[in-house]
Amino acid sequence: MSEFDLDEALDDVDDAILELESRPQAEGVSAELDLGEPSRWQIHPIGWVAIGVLVVAAVYHTLIDTKFLIGNFAWWHWAFFAALAVFSLRPAVLHGIRLGIEGTASVTKSIAWMLAWVVFGLQLFNVVTRYSNEFLEQDILFGQVVSAAWQSFGLMFLIGVNYGVRDGVNPRIDFWWAKFEPKTKAWLDFVVHVALLFPFIWMAIRILRPYAETSLGRRRSGEWPSGHRVWETWEQSPEADQLPVGPIKAMLLVAFVLFGLQVIAEIIKTGFVMIGDDKRGDIVVSEVPQRIE
């Protein structure tokens, strides 16, 4: 074929493509042709998990009298899992919930970065005052500043745990993980999060709740101290000139709540990948070098 004939053929192909693109599509065709779009009647996997939990809880509650939580659900437990089962039929609602949770992670990320600068400033103050105190002949509140530094350092990690889960900064054996297909990764994450990680977080929250309340001054009788000087009831550090440790201990509970919410978001996201909804699953191909940690 001559060079002139080849150029003419290419022009004809371009014209045909433009003509096809200009034609209006039939109503409803685009939704069926979207790659990764799940079936209209397909249930999100989190719905099957919620239904399974409700069935087991009902069996334990009616037929087996136990002291386990699964047989003694409070009303909000039933409402929570029932809502998950209902929302599993509405992918847009689940997707909105996930985006809202991940928006919280963006806020805690900013707070964690600010706390990093606070830790730097406090430690710099400690270094400067350590060597200048003898010249100023003044007593510096060294104990309080050191306590504020380590509490800020701990708070930075506690408040940023959900951001770490969202962005995948947790250690992973990448050379093994990277070989899997997206759906295989989603299945593995979904099963591990549902069967192992989320039950652990649920248990930790139940254990840490009374621990946090005691740290903030709640008595064994269940009564909270009266008065506006609540900081006087906080658990105190046994060391001299230290800040109260009650608030930072209570933040353990907050950290696990944030952790649990982000795990729910990850379960929702991986569930979308499992049913073929890659758009809502937000599959991202990482270009980070493989590592073993």
Q: What is the pLDDT of residue 198?
A: 92
292: left (phi over 0), alpha (psi -120 to 50) or beta: beta
- Residue 256 near residue 204 (C-beta atoms within 8 A): yes
Q: What is the pLDDT of residue 30?
A: 34
Q: What is the pLDDT of residue 265?
A: 92
Q: Which two tokens stand for residue 4?
A: 């002139």
Tens-binned pLDDT, residue by residue, of the chain (293 aa): 444 455 565 565 455 545 544 544 433 333 333 434 544 557 889 999 999 999 999 999 888 878 888 888 889 999 999 999 999 888 888 889 999 998 888 899 899 999 999 999 988 888 887 777 666 555 556 778 888 888 999 999 899 888 888 887 766 666 676 677 888 888 988 999 999 999 999 999 999 998 888 888 877 777 777 766 777 777 777 776 678 888 888 999 999 999 999 999 999 999 998 888 777 877 655 555 555 44
Q: What is the pLDDT of residue 32?
A: 34
C-alpha closest to that of 242 among 163, 170, 148 = 148
User: DSSP string of 144-188?
Assistant: HHHHHHHHHHHHHHHHTHHHHHHTT-S---HHHHTTS-HHHHHHH
Q: What is the pLDDT of residue 190?
A: 92
Q: What is the pLDDT of residue 23?
A: 44
Q: What is the pLDDT of residue 36?
A: 46
Q: Give the span between the Cα atoms of 86 and 207, in whole angstroms.
A: 29
Q: What is the pLDDT of residue 138?
A: 53
Listed in sequence order, the residues at least 6 apart from 19 whose beta carbon sits closer than 8 Å to its beta carbon are: none
C-alpha closest to that of 237 among 249, 229, 255 = 249
